[in-house]
Amino acid sequence: MRFCILLIFCSVLYAETLIPYDFKAGEMTKQCEELIAQAKKKLDDVVAIKKEERTFANTVAAIENTLVDLDVKSTPAQFVAYVSTNKELRGESSKCEQMLSAFSVETSLRKDLYDAFNEYVANNKEEIAKLSAVDARLLEVMQTEYRKSGFTLSKEDRDKLKEMQKKLSSLETQFSKNLVENKEVLKLTEAELTGTPESFRSRLKKDEEGKFIVTSKYPDYAAVMRYADDANVRKRMLYLYYNRAGDKNSKLLQDAIALRHQIAELLGYKTWADYRTDGRMAKNSENVRTFLEGLQGKLAKINEQDLLNLFMVKKQYDPKAEKLDLWDVGYCSTKLKREKYKIDDELVRQYFPAHRVIEGTFHIYSKLLGVNFEEVKGADVWHESVKLFKVIDAKTKEVVSYFYADLYPREGKYGHAAAFTLRPGRMMDGEYVKPISAIVANMEPPTKDKPSLLSHGNVETFFHEFGHIMHQTLTKVAYASLSGTSVSRDFVEAPSQMLENWVWNNEMLAIISGHYQDESKKLPEDLKQKLLKIKHYNSGINYTRQVFFATIDFKLHTSGKDVDVNALYHKLFKGIVGLDSAEGTKWLAGFGHLMGGYDAGYYGYMWSEVYAQDMFTKFAKNGILDSNTGMRYRQIILERGNLQDPQQLIEEFLERKSNNKAFLEKLGLK
């Protein structure tokens, strides 16, 4: 019925928790099998309860707690796939994840468990009327999940649904594994890397011929696309990156789209998008379509102008150029920033050493949210570069949660930036279990001569992901499936998106900056003002690409089971983005969101930003470091998780109805 990958990866946290992560081959699958058997037994016990003896505690809460216990106890084995350097263990971890996913599907379709739940609902009206707010919300959420699970189907159709869902889960797991295991590289000479920063080249390994080995990891891709003078090298880099696991993952995605459509039809929905949006803020696929088409129309003119500006840059160094190619966009954007705004990204990076940004971020969040951060020295962690921190309430001095910071790339590690719930907050035996999370990123690693230096974009990403950490770790909701970021998919990004505004504030830039050679030297005022001027730089291009990502996701999940995924991608790209799509690429094979929980949900990034910018108006009015506004934000938005409908929480915080004015102003579309 629910399977949230609660990626717990704990070590010794005083006497509170001791969870191993140093698995040996064979241990993970054995452990997962045992945990699944234990969970099944507990659920069987729930089913066996007599009708007249059913209560909220022994039925509804028992189902919730059994599934959460399974997640929490099994996820050390699952997390190995995301952070381990051992390929064999990552493979076994993925196998364990598939076993747990299969059990989740089976559980979600257990008719006897559904009957037990309904038996409680039908025969306990008096108790239900007296439930606390959190108990009533859990009951409501579980009823919605059951409603979408197909229990009105015949046994034959339920069995069919079960097999399709198991197959879908397996496809999604394999898709992610293929991306992690991708090892394709470019081998380039120093001449071919002309224009790229020395700091980038100095960290690259070389082959036996002395050529630089450029991986398909995002930091390498971004450096080449922004700085390499040779257009052919940029083109080769783009094709390498856009074709990661191309053939394998294209087939997996194709099969997943077909399965999703068949599942949706079996459950009585017209499309997978209708199924996924049922119960979310958007309510249905028609509202999503209207939202995306409206935004695309509003962005069209500024996207066209942004592309023209970049094309004129290209004409300066290539007078015979007839068009702007996809592999020119990052390079020309960097040149235009330097020429028009006099922004040198490499100079900016010198003022954002990673440790200074982290310390500054802690300071800002402390002021806003009434918490302090303290590193746990000597903590037992899964890699020497990982650090553990505890979050302490500034008023009560109590430890409220923990989080790990795993910030630098290594072989086999998850390749992007994300915030993982490692252990959810929840009530157990009369005490609140302290949440544990991990911020996992791939910042440019330090070298022997320099610390890790971040671009301003990297700073914004860190601020965003750390916002998720706060959402996960400051929760106070009693049930795990309602706590932290266990909220509607089209709202979950809003709290973090709102906090991105802080890195575009003059005062905040002073707090988080400091030259790596002398941190007392803050980002110079002239450079700071130049940086602030580019807040809306290329907003037409950037948001139009987001509209495209959301639209291709939406179209894939509303076009039937026989849609050709790569053909649809290339068909839509030019019409929305305004550039040729680089024929022969299979970009969707690397679009992890489609197989990682954001299927028919990518629209949520922009949908939630509407609310993010509206919430920020409170801080813009009261002061960006106003602690009273910050505490209201913590108590209403962060602590309550999914205790209430997101719309209610937003409007309680705003003290008015929400609107899209601030979002459109950010885009220059007043």
Catalytic site positions:
465
Those residues with Cβ within 8 angstroms of residue 667's Cβ, 6 or more apart along the chain or in another chain:
298, 299, 302, 536, 539, 543
Q: Which two tokens stand for residue 45?
A: 């016990």
Tell me which DSSP letter residue 57 carries. Answer: I
Q: How far apart are CA 175 and CA 137, in angstroms?
A: 34
In 3-state terms, what secondary structure has residue 606?
Answer: helix
Residue 288: burial class (beta carbons within 10 Å; 0-12, 13-18, 19+): buried
DSSP 116-172: HHHHHHHH-HHHHHT--HHHHHHHHHHHHHHHTTTTTS-HHHHHHHHHHHHHHHHHH
Those residues with Cβ within 8 angstroms of residue 669's Cβ, 6 or more apart along the chain or in another chain:
298, 299, 302
Tell me which DSSP letter residue 435 carries. Answer: P
Q: How far apart are CA 607 and CA 609, in angstroms?
A: 5
Pairing type for strands 418-423 and 185-188 reads: unpaired
Q: How far apart are CA 51 and CA 433, in angstroms?
A: 31
Number of CB atoms found within 10 A of residue 438's CB: 26
Pairing type for strands 399-406 and 212-215 reads: unpaired
Largest CA distance in the chain: 83
Tell me which DSSP letter residue 222 carries. Answer: H
Residue 431 pairs in a beta bridge with 428
Q: Are 399 and 434 in contact (CB under 8 A)?
A: yes
Amino acid at 97: E
Amino acid at 94: S
Amino acid at 577: V
Sign of CA dihedral 199, 201, 205, 210: negative
Pairing type for strands 436-440 and 399-406 reads: parallel
Q: Are 109 and 169 in contact (CB under 8 A)?
A: no
DSSP 388-399: EEEEEETTT--E
CA angle, corner 538, sides to 536 and 543, nearest 5?
90
Q: How far apart are CA 34 and CA 373, in angstroms?
A: 37
Q: Which two tokens stand for residue 338?
A: 């330097």
